[in-house]
């Protein structure tokens, strides 16, 4: 089995790395990461820098908050690019700008390293259960090499196209998710203000054309008043900004995306950026005078 260097042990990365270890892969991590002890106790090997980790790994995976963090870890001093060996595979599973993904691909190719952009969807629950949807940009040879890992971390992995295509697809995913959460939030606020039983409404809607995973999961979150983050509002706001930037680049008006992004800005202004993105309901409820 190939050795896996894994950088980014947050809400998503930690369970993804653990799932690889449970499948028998030797996983290497950074000793300074917050979840290092958990992974080390499970058998991971710790390294002091991204450079030394990359030098010891056959495949390097990163999953970090945004483009600047990925660029710092990969391209910065003592970064992945300095240590990674020719013939290795680099997989970025963060959600970042497509232009950044293309730049990383070009930089890796100069060192004879294949690269994939492979952002994921499914949230913390999907990461823990190994049921993520993985959207991949890169070439088929690299995709086939990564596929055994993707099959452990996700329920589906699709090679979309060349470098950057995975990130563009993820931006589209986040647009649809964000606007659907907004629709659910507005519907539940209207129903609550009208004294409609939310439990019964959710049950009825799940049996009809409005049925969706978002209505199922986030409708229940609203009913339970549970906005503990599976995916933080501030991170989804970052993703919507990536989509809006792509819209400007290709002259596509993204009016619904812009409105949801503005509502997320309002949530951040209220100090609720750490809440789950289903907290769009919190904003609608406040504007509606719902206690």
- Which active-site residues does the annotation give? 170
Backbone angles phi, psi at 216, to 5 degrees: -65, -60
DSSP helix, strand, coil percent of the chain (3-state; round to 5): 55, 15, 30
Residue of 289, 174, 159 lying closest to 242 (CA atoms): 174
Residues 6+ apart with CB under 8 A from 137: 98, 101, 105, 116, 117, 118, 159, 160, 161, 162, 163, 164, 165, 166, 167, 168, 169
Distance CA 283, CA 185 (A): 9
How far is residue 139's CA from residue 217's CA, in Å, rounded to a whole number?
35
**β-bridge partners, 116:** 91
Sign of torsion over alpha carbons 272, 275, 281, 286 = negative
Largest CA distance in the chain: 63
Tokens of 1: 């089995």
Within 13 Å and on the Cβ side, how many CA atoms surround 273? 11
Q: Do residues 87 and 113 lie in contact, with contact meaning Cβ atoms separated by under 8 Å?
A: yes
């Amino acid at each position: 089995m190939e050795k896996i260097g894994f950088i980014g042990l947050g809400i998503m990365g930690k369970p993804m790395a653990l799932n690889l270890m449970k499948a028998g892969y030797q996983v290497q991590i950074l000793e300074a990461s917050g979840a290092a002890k958990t992974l080390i106790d499970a058998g991971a090997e710790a390294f002091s820098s991204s450079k030394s980790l990359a030098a010891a790994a056959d495949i390097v995976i990163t999953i970090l908050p945004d483009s600047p963090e990925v660029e710092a870890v990969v391209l910065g001093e003592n970064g992945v690019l300095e240590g990674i060996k020719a013939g290795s595979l680099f997989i970025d599973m963060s959600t970042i700008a497509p232009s950044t993904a293309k730049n990383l691909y070009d930089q890796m190719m100069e060192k004879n390293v294949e690269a994939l952009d492979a952002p994921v969807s499914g949230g913390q629950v999907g990461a823990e259960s190994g049921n993520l949807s993985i959207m991949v940009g890169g070439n088929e040879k690299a995709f086939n090499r990564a596929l055994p890992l993707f099959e452990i971390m996700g329920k589906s992995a699709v090679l979309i196209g060349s470098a950057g295509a995975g990130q563009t697809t993820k931006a589209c995913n986040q647009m649809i998710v964000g606007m659907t959460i907004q629709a659910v939030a507005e519907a539940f606020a209207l129903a609550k203000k009208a004294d409609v039983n939310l439990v019964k409404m959710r049950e009825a809607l799940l049996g009809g054309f409005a049925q969706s995973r978002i209505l199922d999961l986030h409708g229940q979150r609203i009913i339970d008043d549970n906005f503990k983050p599976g995916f933080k509002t501030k991170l989804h706001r970052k993703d919507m900004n990536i989509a809006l930037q792509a819209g400007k680049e290709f002259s596509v008006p993204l009016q619904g995306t812009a409105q949801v992004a503005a509502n997320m800005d309002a949530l951040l202004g209220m100090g609720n950026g750490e809440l789950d993105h289903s907290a769009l309901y919190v904003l609608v409820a406040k504007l509606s005078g719902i206690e």
